Amino acid sequence: MSDQIGLQERNMAEREIVPPVLPLHHQLVQIWEEVLHVHPIGITEDFFELGGHSLLAIQMLNRVRQVCGKQLPLATLFSGATIEYLASVLQEESSEARAQKDPHWRTPLVPIKTDGSLPPFFYLHGDWKDGSFYSIKLAHGLGPDQPFYNLEPYIFEDQSVPPSFEAIAAAYIQAMREVQPEGPYRLGGFCNGALIAYEMACQLYEAGEEVETLLLINPARPTPHSGIYTALRRFGSLVRLPEATQVDLFLLSRQLQRLQQQALRRRRVRSGDSLALEEEQERQKIKQAQKEAAQKPGSATKLLRADWSSLYDWTILGASLYRYPGKITLLWSQGEQSQALWEQMTRANERAIYDILGTHRSCRTVHLQALIDQVKACLEQDDSASSEAADEEWRSMATV
């Protein structure tokens, strides 16, 4: 609290306080003041410059959902972290109208760093919950000559049935080609984002495009299995159950699984696990927001459909991945369970494997600099290999 008060006292004379104009502005100002403990706040001020961070951003967007009835992805704040911008996003038209304005709105491409002469690095962080704040540091840590774009998680909004995994990857390729029409491409991803990057590379290879870099960090299982999914698909086919209903039942089963996991987590909390305690406190905040939202008419199905992570799981469970014939780099932190499966999916002579510090979570936080250094080294190695290949091609042409 004292930090925010000090911020006000130091910067009040420097800050330009643009007052709210619309009723929505007033609502958002009140939310920001509650979350940030700063008063007054102008509609053109930046959330992060006022002392906000990722956890406060999640809290703020949960309050926006409760008050305005619309869930904004955390990535919205990358495009604009002001009340004025958030209000404009909240007032946007239907998905059909948005598609007419931007055909790639379901696969947002966010430029983090556009300067540099090297081929852009397109990164799929794949995090629906906490966003990709760490990737901003990653982008600026790769050197001044490396452009960096985030491909944000797919927006599963206003869809009775989600598209196929292959269709999602194809949509990302189309969005990427708006920036870089042709190869060589540099692709990377984390966890489920890595899996999409892998499918994108496969499709680009099939199209005859060159993928210079395919860098996967702790990639999710390439051959996932779900007894619930298999049973639902078989039962749905037998009784001709609409696929939209199958999706809802799958999402409901995932919610029940989470309840079981929460019960186990609470037992860990009682045993004194500090990490479990921190996770449980954050989940309780989200759970309370969901409980309040659930009191609104027709919100049960909306809450299920807001589980974009499980909607993604539905798409990948129906996918048919094949072995990528090109070069691939795999970065693994401690405790990852899918390494053996990825060895089966890749060719030994085209595979480079590196260990990185930390766990699935801490490699992006406590050990982020080590991750940045390793990614940078891998990209520089690809630069060197690409230059050598170009020199060899030039020499062969010169001798003809």
Global pTM reads 0.71
Domain 103-223+321-400 classification at class level: alpha beta
Which stretch of DSSP H or E encloses residue 6? Answer: helix 2-11
Q: Are 42 and 18 in contact (CB under 8 A)?
A: yes
Q: Does the pLDDT value for residue 386 go beyond 80?
A: no
pLDDT, one tens digit per residue, over 165-201 is 999 999 999 999 999 999 999 999 999 999 999 999 9
pLDDT of residue 297: 39
SS3 at position 270 = helix
pLDDT, one tens digit per residue, over 237-276 is 899 989 888 888 888 888 887 777 766 766 665 665 555 5
pLDDT, one tens digit per residue, over 322-350 is 889 899 999 999 989 889 889 888 888 88
Q: Does the pLDDT value for residue 387 go beyond 90?
A: no
Distance CA 384, CA 391 (A): 11
Q: Are 333 and 293 in contact (CB under 8 A)?
A: no
Token pair 């002392």 is at which residue?
51
Which stretch of DSSP H or E encloses residue 68? Answer: helix 54-68
Distance CA 39, CA 19 (A): 12
Q: 165-177 vs 308-317: helix axis angle to the nearest 10?
A: 110
Average pLDDT over residues 12-32: 81
Of 155, 130, 158, nearest to 286 by C-alpha is 130
Q: Are 151 and 124 in contact (CB under 8 A)?
A: yes
Q: Does the pLDDT value for residue 13 go beyond 90?
A: no
Q: Which residue has the higher pLDDT, 141 or 281?
A: 141
pLDDT of residue 150: 92
At 306, the pLDDT band (50, 70, 90 cuts) reads confident
Distance CA 186, CA 139 (A): 13
Distance CA 273, CA 121 (A): 38
| Helices and strands per DSSP (H, E), number in the chain | 16, 7
Distance CA 60, CA 58 (A): 5
Domain 1-92 classification at class level: mainly alpha
Residue 23, token pair as written in the block? 């009723």
Q: Which residues are CB-contacts of 111 (< 8 A; sequence separation ≥ 6)? A: 147, 149, 179
Q: Which residue has the higher pLDDT, 297 or 185?
A: 185
pLDDT, one tens digit per residue, over 312-321 is 889 999 888 8
Q: For residue 188, what are the β-bridge partners? A: 123, 215
Q: What percent of the chain has pLDDT over 90?
A: 38
Buried b / exposed e across 26-46, counting CB within 10 Å, b at 16+? ebbbebbeebbbbeebbbebe
Distance CA 35, CA 52 (A): 9
Q: Does the pLDDT value for residue 206 go beyond 90?
A: yes
Residue 293, token pair as written in the block? 């939202």
The yes-or-no answer to whether 1-92 and 103-223+321-400 have a common fold is: no
Q: Which residue has the higher pLDDT, 158 or 339?
A: 339
Q: Does the pLDDT value for residue 393 go beyond 60?
A: no
Mean pLDDT of the chain: 82
Q: Does the pLDDT value for residue 295 go beyond 50?
A: no
Lowest mean pLDDT among 87-91, 121-125, 197-201, 298-302: 298-302
pLDDT of residue 335: 87
Q: What percent of the chain has pLDDT over 70?
A: 78
* Domain residue extents for the chain: 1-92, 103-223+321-400, 227-310
pLDDT of residue 228: 85
Distance CA 152, CA 121 (A): 14
Q: Are 347 and 205 in contact (CB under 8 A)?
A: no
pLDDT, one tens digit per residue, over 49-68 is 999 988 899 889 988 887 77
Q: Does the pLDDT value for residue 12 go beyond 80?
A: no
Q: Are 108 and 155 in contact (CB under 8 A)?
A: yes
Average pLDDT over residues 268-291: 54
Tell me the residue type at 174. Q
pLDDT, one tens digit per residue, over 364-377 is 989 999 999 999 99
